[in-house]
């Protein structure tokens, strides 16, 4: 199965900060990469698909980039509701796999 | 209304077989742009993809768990069923079902809808 590695595993930041989360695939996945956010006790929610396409309703402060094996999720100006856990996920292989998550915490 | 809802036992014993049902509404399991996966999350840990069933009825499974998993569907009822054999306490997790949607050109696929999840505890 394709392994997805996220870094950092945790990140402390302040409201208004710009943050970047990285995700690396163990092989090329073209742009078959999605990002999700999960709050405690909730199901994950789709933020971005095809590496850079914003899901409908997602604020424009979120953006994604990358292709092949290296991808990034950027939040341009952190809002209080953004402190949560973020996951990347590949759909290049039909054995879909997730990264181990990045927990974004308030500094 | 587009929804997925998981149902099944909250407690199973070690060595039991777990059967979970995902009931979908608002879309068809026969839609070629739709499929359903099962994904789990142990308490405090990461998401783990388990299995998927496509509109063609093709199936795929996590390599590490495929010997224990099966997935099936009843399109008339809008249900996708996951079974996992030989349950162990390490299988304690919240189990989610999620819809995999394809773009109109089939060049992107993503989990756009999720159920709320169901917590399954494995304990004697």
pLDDT in tens, B111-121: 999 999 999 99
> How many whole angstroms separate alpha carbon B69 and alpha carbon B61?
7
DSSP type of residue A55: P
Interface test with A, best of B96, B109, B115, B117 (most A CBs within 10 A): B109
Q: Which residue of A has its CA nearest to B37?
A: A96
Nearest CB neighbour to B60, from listed A36, A94, A99: A94
Q: Which residues partner with A98 through β-bridges? A: A89
Which residues of B fall within a CB distance of 8 Å from A44? 47, 96, 98, 111, 114
Q: Pick from A95, A99, A102 the residue to mutate for testing the B interface (most B CBs within 10 Å).
A: A95
Mean pLDDT, range A85-101, rounded to an integer: 97
- Is the pLDDT at B105 greater than 90? The verdict is no
- Which residue is listed with tokens 């773009």? B103
Cα–Cα distance between B34 and A5 in angstroms, integer? 27
Dig out the tokens for A104 from the structure: 């974004």
pLDDT for the residue numbered B107: 83
> Which residues of B touch chain A, with CB atoms under 8 Å apart?
37, 39, 46-49, 52, 54, 60-64, 96, 98, 100, 103, 107-112, 114-117
- Mean pLDDT score across all residues of chain B: 96
Can you tell me which residue has the tokens 């996920």?
A: A89
Residue B104 has pLDDT above 90, yes or no: no
Percent pLDDT > 90 in chain A is 98
User: A70 pLDDT band (50/70/90 cuts)?
Assistant: very high
CA atoms within 13 A on the CB side of A87: 25
Residues of B whose CB is below 8 A from A36: 47, 111
Contact between B43 and B57 under an 8 Å Cβ cutoff? The reply is: no
Confidence of residue A52 (pLDDT cuts 50, 70, 90): very high
State how beta strands B11-12 and B118-122 pair.
parallel
């Amino acid at each position: 199965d394709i392994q997805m590695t996220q870094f950092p595993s945790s990140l402390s930041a302040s409201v208004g900060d710009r943050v970047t989360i990285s995700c690396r695939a163990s092989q090329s996945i073209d742009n078959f990469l999605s990002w999700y956010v999960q709050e405690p006790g909730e199901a994950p929610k789709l933020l971005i698909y095809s590496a850079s396409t914003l899901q409908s309703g997602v604020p424009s402060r979120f953006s994604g980039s990358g292709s092949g094996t290296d991808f990034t999720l950027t939040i341009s100006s952190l809002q209080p509701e953004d402190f949560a856990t973020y996951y990347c996920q590949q759909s290049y292989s039909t054995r879909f796999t997730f990264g181990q998550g990045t927990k974004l915490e308030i500094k | 209304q587009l929804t997925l809802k998981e149902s099944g036992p909250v407690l199973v014993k070690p060595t039991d077989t777990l059967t979970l049902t995902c009931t979908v509404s608002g879309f068809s399991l026969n839609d070629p742009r739709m499929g359903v996966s099962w994904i789990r999350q142990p308490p405090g840990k990461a998401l783990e993809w388990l299995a998927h069933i496509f509109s063609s009825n093709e199936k795929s499974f996590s390599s590490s768990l495929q010997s224990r998993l099966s997935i099936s569907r009843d399109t008339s009822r809008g249900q996708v069923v996951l079974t996992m054999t030989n349950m162990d306490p390490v299988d304690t997790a919240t189990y989610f079902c999620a819809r995999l949607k394809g773009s109109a050109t089939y060049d992107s696929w993503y989990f756009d809808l999720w159920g709320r999840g169901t917590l399954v505890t494995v304990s004697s």
